[in-house]
Amino acid sequence: MQYVVVVKRDCETCQMVEPLLAELKERLPLALHCQDDPAFPAAAGGALDDRGLETSWRLRIEIVPTLIRLEDGREAARAEGWHRSDWEKVSGLTGLGPDLPPSRPGCGSLSVEPGMPERLALRFGALQLASRKIEVDPMDDPAEVAYDRGWTDGLPVIPPTDLRIARMLGGTTRKPDEIIGLIPPNLAECTIEKAAINAVMAGCRPEYFPVVLAAIEAALKPEFSMHGLLATLWFSGPVVIVNGPVSKRIGMNWAGNALGQGNRANATIGRALQLVIRNVGGGRPQEIDRAVLGNPGKYTFCFAEDETDPDWVPLNVARGHPRGSSTVTLFHGDGVQGVAEQKSRDPEGLARSLAMALWAVCHPKQAQWSHALLVISPDHYAIFKQGGWDRARIEAEIWQALRRPGRDLVAGAGGVGMGIDASRGEEMIDKFHPGGLIIVRAGGEGGLFSAIIGGWTAQRRHQEVQVVSTEIGT
């Protein structure tokens, strides 16, 4: 049986128990390790030098002082901080420290300070990165190297050093070599490690990483058709909508300017997904990405839904996920179309007005060619809520208001060649396929404005191309 104590001089509790450590060293086969000064504790003749923190890291020390009992080389018990009863139980001795208070909390171990666990894991071989390392000459600018090699989306990226990658990997419990899937268009394997590299480049914090992984997994679902979305001539790219407690935990924005710039989580999560498609899958503009015009959302398009009203059914719950779960939903979206509706003060009129604006998606005379995402602002939502309308009522009334006579939409009507087939002239036409109108809440107060995000024209094959949702893991 052996005993280990880990201390540091810069800890009042360690200093307090110094006389006791000298006593224990005389009575037990004890190895003392000090994290910051091997001359401490002087009363015990000093300690083994653990300024490199290898012993602390291997023993998973979180608090100093820590007393550990080893049996056959394996840990059998430990006591953290100073608690007389715990130390007596671990050591098998009684009457310890009669002049000391019965307990006192310890201090944080140097081995668990921010960034240190990842440094130690890299230093001592617990984390070995498999990706090929590309050395950059000290005279070169890493940002310029990234531009030259085509690793950026046109904006600067964060150089993915080993330490930054290790920190990002610390944001998930998943193994670095786990394969997430094959990234289009080249169908290249994407591991958790490669996703972490691109999340670093995008500027993510480690706590965002599970959301990034869920977004990648959602994009790889066959029914989302990420390859087709990448190769389309249309404007669209993936729009990431986050629901659940995770959005608040990582500080996402669902309020003012939710669809715009300024929030790190919103901006970098969506960007990380796009960089994975580019750097792992090879999806680059003017190559396989064949968009005629594209849209700024192809840099990043990610936001959280406003779930502050307990009466509102969040998007993920409406799509079948448990209330309180955290999810990402991916929509094939193009740019933002603003809707200024400042006159309607009743829900019926507002629903008809929003429906009128929704007819512009793709083309006012085109039906069932895409889906649409309607982002209802707080002030517009207040009108619906005051009228007693919930999600189901809002969806149903807008859907009904979207129906139009086919004769108004057929090709040539109104002197416009665009339109539906003439054979449908006597029908009442729905603007979207069933399920093709997605409604969420977001935005700030103070303006009777909402937003429409048009969908991808391939959604006309609505059974093949679908909006997808995935629960966020750890």
Amino acid identity of residue 200, one-letter, is: V
Domain ranges within the chain, ordered by starting residue:
2-113, 144-471
For residues 163 and 229, is the Cβ–Cβ distance under 8 A? no
The widest CA-to-CA distance across the chain, in whole angstroms, is 101
CATH numeric code, 2-113 = 3.40.30.10
Which DSSP category does 447 fall into? Answer: -
| Chain-centre distance for alpha carbon 229 | 21
Distance between CA 352 and CA 342 in Å, rounded? 13
pTM of the model: 0.89
- In the block, tokens 């390392």 appear at 133
Q: What is the CA radius of gyration of the chain?
A: 30
8 Å CB contact between 166 and 130: no
* pLDDT per residue of the chain (474 residues) written in tens, 0 to 9: 899 999 999 999 999 999 999 999 999 999 999 999 999 999 999 999 999 999 999 999 999 999 999 999 999 999 999 999 999 999 999 999 999 999 999 999 999 998 899 999 999 877 888 888 888 888 889 989 999 999 999 999 999 999 999 999 999 999 999 999 999 999 999 999 999 999 999 999 999 999 999 999 999 999 999 999 999 999 999 999 999 999 999 999 999 999 999 999 999 999 999 999 999 999 999 999 999 999 999 999 999 999 999 999 999 999 999 999 999 999 999 999 999 999 999 999 999 999 999 999 999 999 999 999 999 999 999 999 999 999 999 999 999 999 999 999 999 999 999 999 999 999 999 999 999 999 999 999 999 999 999 999 999 999 999 999 999 998
